[in-house]
């Protein structure tokens, strides 16, 4: 097979290892290119693998890497960075070509080992970096090296993005952070233009309390030239590339890594030159074309038992991957030392202070918002409180249920507001093991939990589900029931509707309230307007640090990435420490059991 330029290409059967957004983009790109197909998907979470297979018409879904190595020509690795080397090594030893997301490796010797293995096994290994192979970037290098701007004295590359706070890049205390996630992008033009033989490299970073860098500058000293890579996960900069020379400069606007335009600038602006090129979609097809070409060459030369010039290493792609791994290795060594000396003990001690709430009860092992889930939560030692939701039936009774429709959690199909109490009580909820349960009333829940409130000080967060339907009179009726059971001192009222918070305060000025919102910033704005006592943002919406004037305010954060009973979302590790940087004091979680277990670790256990 040849491409439009007459170069040999190879049709490839890919096995994808890892699911997620990058695997989705890969599948969409493959779909548009007839010479490639995805024949297998592997993920440690088999359910995720099966969903990916169903979505993209993939024949084999498995949680074992060996299974896919039997039916593919190449693998695409998009797992967390710390796993890349071991997976790539296994594939290369099985004589499979490897396309691996960046960073390929976290240490120089590990990267070098992978390229050596590829040579020995007549296979190809490439680190995903579409920028390298797009026309605009290649022409940029030619112009920069042509002498138009004289001798290159400095390269400044920037890549930053705003990352949700519950993503692995932020919560992975060992291998998360801006340098690991984005460093390779900015190192690419630096080494392409100034070479791999820098004299020294140094770092300046801003760290979270868990040791993850959210913003870093990497300084390269070349003796007679210098370079800076600027990367960030919680700081947004311009995202441009500037190449400075003795006769002029080159400016590449954001996003420079999808190079479609750049300008050569001179002392006399009238002489400035602008260059424009196409950059298709995400650029993944450029990577695939190059990968296919190299795989075809490897097959040809391997069969002839002839090694290519320089051991099949054309250009400096391999050198860039190895040097990038060295930079990351030096950074991680420096970061670990700094964090161990300054923050780890304080970090763990602070994490143990976070208060834990059961979100809709113990809702991973029990049906959410049921008496069973609430009883399991109330029995947990060390739990601060239980959060649940209330709505109103057609005949004005208050029931405990989250969704406006009963379809997801019961065997009914209508909305809560369309049922009478007797009708909604007749619906059943699958409790597992052939058992069924029912939608409880607010009164039943208060009756169940009152002894725990009195004995252990258990708190109750009652969310008024008035965001979609106003439910006129729900505040008055709910407040009356709480007073009936003498639980006013144990209840916090929350809602996404500021009007409901305001109304509760009007009915009972002493009532404690929490302003719900996805973003912390919105909670602050609306909470201030209605005099809310606490802020209740989503952990993925912690987009600002808590202002100094709100120091000491209670911030209870809720999590959207945790599984519910018999749900499709997979369990992720909890990271209390991450949320402390935003002033979070409490966590609403479906898995309070896990959080409370972590809190019981001693400092020494946690350090180990």
For the purposes of burial, counting CB atoms within 10 Å of the CB of 167, is it exposed (0-12), middle (13-18) or buried (19 or more)? middle
| CATH code 3.40.50.720 region(s) in the chain | 12-124+283-308
**Is residue 103 predicted with pLDDT exceeding 80?**
yes
**Is residue 175 predicted with pLDDT exceeding 80?**
yes
Q: What pLDDT is recorded for position 7? A: 53
Residue 456 parent element (H or E): helix 442-456
**Worst-scoring range by mean pLDDT, 123-127, 222-226, 582-586?**
582-586
Q: Read off the pLDDT of residues 107-137 as tens digits, 9 standing for 90 and up.
A: 999 999 999 999 899 999 999 999 999 999 9
Q: What is the DSSP letter of 4?
A: T
Specify the CATH number of the domain 349-401+442-607.
3.20.20.190
Q: What pLDDT is recorded for position 348? A: 58
Q: Are 123 and 96 in contact (CB under 8 A)?
A: yes
**Is residue 303 predicted with pLDDT exceeding 90?**
no
Closest CA relative to residue 249, chosen from 238, 239, 262: 262
Tokens of 435: 């058992």
Q: What pLDDT is recorded for position 308? A: 43
Phi-psi region of 315 (alpha: psi -120 to 50; beta: other; left: phi over 0): left
Proportion of the chain above pLDDT 70, given as a percent: 89
- Residue 45: how many CB atoms within 10 A of its CB? 12
**CA 70, 74, 76, 80 torsion: positive or negative?**
positive
- Residue 313: how many CB atoms within 10 A of its CB? 14
Q: Read off the pLDDT of residues 529-542 as tens digits, 9 standing for 90 and up.
A: 999 999 999 988 88
Tokens of 178: 């801006």
98-112 mean pLDDT = 96
Instruction: Please state, in angstroms and rounded to a whole number, the distance separating the CA atoms of residues 91 and 75.
Output: 7
**Is residue 6 predicted with pLDDT exceeding 80?**
no
Closest CA relative to residue 97, chosen from 78, 75, 80: 75
In this structure, whether the domain defined by 135-278+327-342 belongs to CATH 3.30.360.10 is answered with yes
Parallel/antiparallel/unpaired status of strands 554-558 and 491-495: unpaired
**Is residue 241 predicted with pLDDT exceeding 70?**
yes
Q: What pLDDT is recorded for position 313? A: 44
* Residue matched to tokens 């099966």: 50
Collapsing DSSP states into helix, strand and coil, what is residue 245?
strand
Q: Are 263 and 250 in contact (CB under 8 A)?
A: yes
Confidence of residue 154 (pLDDT cuts 50, 70, 90): very high
Closest CA relative to residue 253, chosen from 264, 263, 268, 244: 263
Confidence of residue 301 (pLDDT cuts 50, 70, 90): low
For the purposes of burial, counting CB atoms within 10 Å of the CB of 570, is it exposed (0-12), middle (13-18) or buried (19 or more)? middle
Collapsing DSSP states into helix, strand and coil, what is residue 423?
helix
Q: Read off the pLDDT of residues 316-369 as tens digits, 9 standing for 90 and up.
A: 788 999 999 999 999 998 887 766 655 555 555 666 678 999 999 999 999 999
Phi/psi of residue 150, nearest 5 degrees: 75, -150
Confidence of residue 159 (pLDDT cuts 50, 70, 90): very high
Tokens of 52: 């990916």
Does the annotation mark 359 as catalytic? yes
Q: Which residue has the higher pLDDT, 18 or 565?
A: 18
Instruction: Please state, in angstroms and rounded to a whole number, the distance separating the CA atoms of residues 204 and 490.
Output: 47
**Is residue 310 predicted with pLDDT exceeding 60?**
no
Q: What pLDDT is recorded for position 607? A: 39
Q: How far does Cα 367 stand from its chain's mean position?
A: 27
| CATH code 3.30.360.10 region(s) in the chain | 135-278+327-342
Parallel/antiparallel/unpaired status of strands 60-62 and 226-232: unpaired
Does the annotation mark 575 as catalytic? no
| CATH code 3.20.20.190 region(s) in the chain | 349-401+442-607
Size of the chain in residues? 608
Q: Are 147 and 116 in contact (CB under 8 A)?
A: no
Confidence of residue 307 (pLDDT cuts 50, 70, 90): very low
Parallel/antiparallel/unpaired status of strands 74-77 and 97-100: parallel
Catalytic residue among 359, 503, 536, 575: 359
82-100 mean pLDDT = 96
Q: What mean pLDDT is reported for the chain?
A: 89
Instruction: Please state, in angstroms and rounded to a whole number, the distance separating the CA atoms of residues 460 and 357.
Output: 9
The matching CATH number, chosen from 3.30.470.20, 3.40.50.2300, 2.40.50.140, 3.40.50.720, for 12-124+283-308 is 3.40.50.720
Q: Are 186 and 316 in contact (CB under 8 A)?
A: no
Count of alpha carbons within 13 angstroms of residue 387, beta-carbon side: 28
**Worst-scoring range by mean pLDDT, 437-451, 467-481, 583-597?**
583-597
**Is residue 555 predicted with pLDDT exceeding 80?**
yes
Q: What pLDDT is recorded for position 173? A: 80
Q: Which residue has the higher pLDDT, 9 or 569?
A: 569
Closest CA relative to residue 251, chosen from 275, 227, 233, 234: 275
Confidence of residue 603 (pLDDT cuts 50, 70, 90): very low
Q: Three-state SS across 516-579? A: ECCCHHHHHHHHHHHCCCEEECEHHHCCCCCCHHHCCCEEEEECCCCCCCCCCCCCCCCCHHHH
Catalytic residue among 402, 503, 536, 575: 402
433-448 mean pLDDT = 95
DSSP string for 275-302 = EE----TTSHHHHHHHHHHHHHHHHHHH
Q: What angle do helix axes 442-456 and 371-378 make, rounded to 10 degrees?
A: 0
**Is residue 604 predicted with pLDDT exceeding 80?**
no
């Amino acid at each position: 097979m040849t491409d439009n330029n007459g170069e040999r290409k190879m049709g490839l059967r890919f096995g994808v290892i890892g699911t997620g957004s990058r695997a989705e983009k890969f599948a969409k790109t493959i779909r548009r290119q007839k010479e490639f197909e995805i024949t297998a998907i592997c993920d440690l979470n088999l359910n995720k693998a099966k969903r990916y297979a169903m979505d993209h018409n993939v024949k084999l879904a498995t949680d074992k890497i060996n299974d896919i190595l039997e039916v593919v020509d190449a693998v695409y690795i998009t797992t967390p960075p710390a796993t890349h080397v071991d997976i790539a090594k296994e594939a290369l030893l099985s004589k499979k070509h490897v396309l691996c997301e960046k960073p390929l490796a976290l240490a120089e010797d590990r990267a070098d080992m992978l390229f050596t293995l590829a040579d020995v096994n007549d296979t190809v290994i490439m680190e995903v970096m579409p920028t390298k192979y797009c026309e605009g970037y290649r022409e940029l290098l030619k112009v920069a090296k042509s002498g138009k701007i004289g001798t290159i004295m400095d390269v400044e590359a920037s890549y930053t993005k705003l990352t949700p706070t519950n993503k692995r890049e932020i919560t992975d205390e060992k291998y998360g952070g801006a340098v690991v996630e984005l460093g390779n992008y900015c190192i690419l033009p630096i080494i392409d233009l100034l070479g791999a033989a820098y004299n020294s490299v140094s770092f300046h970073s801003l760290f979270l309390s868990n040791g993850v860098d959210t913003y870093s500058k990497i300084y390269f000293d070349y003796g007679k030239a210098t370079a800076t890579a600027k990367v960030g996960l919680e700081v947004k900069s311009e995202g441009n590339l500037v190449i400075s020379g003795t006769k002029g400069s080159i400016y590449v606007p954001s996003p420079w890594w999808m190079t479609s335009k750049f300008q050569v600038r001179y002392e006399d602006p009238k002489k400035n030159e602008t260059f424009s090129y196409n950059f298709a979609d995400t650029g993944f097809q450029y990577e695939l074309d190059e990968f296919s070409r190299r795989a075809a060459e490897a097959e040809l030369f391997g069969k002839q038992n002839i090694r290519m010039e320089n051991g099949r290493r054309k250009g400096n792609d391999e050198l860039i991957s190895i040097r990038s791994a060295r930079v990351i290795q030096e950074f991680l060594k420096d970061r670990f030392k700094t964090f161990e000396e300054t923050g780890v003990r304080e970090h763990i001690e602070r994490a143990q202070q976070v208060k834990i709430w059961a979100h809709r009860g113990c809702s991973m092992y029990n049906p959410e918002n049921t008496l069973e889930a609430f009883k399991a939560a109330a029995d947990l030692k060390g739990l601060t409180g239980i959060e649940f939701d209330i709505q109103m039936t057609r005949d004005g009774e208050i029931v405990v249920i989250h969704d406006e429709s009963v379809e997801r959690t019961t065997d009914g199909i209508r909305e809560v507001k369309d049922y009478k109490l007797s009708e909604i009580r007749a619906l059943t909820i699958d409790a597992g093991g052939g058992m069924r349960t029912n939608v409880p009333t607010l009164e039943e829940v208060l009756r169940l939990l009152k002894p725990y409130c009195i004995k252990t000080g258990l708190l109750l967060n009652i969310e008024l589900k008035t965001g979609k339907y106003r439910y006129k009179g729900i505040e008055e009726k709910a407040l009356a029931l709480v007073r009936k059971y003498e639980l006013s001192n144990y209840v916090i009222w929350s809602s996404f509707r500021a009007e409901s918070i305001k109304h509760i305060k009007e009915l009972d000025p002493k009532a404690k309230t929490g302003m719900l919102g996805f973003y912390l910033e919105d909670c602050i704005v609306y909470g201030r307007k209605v005099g809310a006592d606490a802020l209740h943002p989503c952990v993925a919406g912690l987009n600002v640090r808590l202002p100094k004037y709100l120091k000491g305010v209670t911030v209870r954060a809720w999590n959207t990435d945790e599984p519910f009973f018999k749900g499709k979302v997979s369990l992720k590790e909890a990271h209390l420490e991450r949320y402390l940087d935003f002033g979070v004091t409490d966590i609403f979680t479906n898995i309070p059991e896990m959080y409370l277990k972590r809190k019981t670790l001693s400092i020494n256990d946690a350090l180990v």
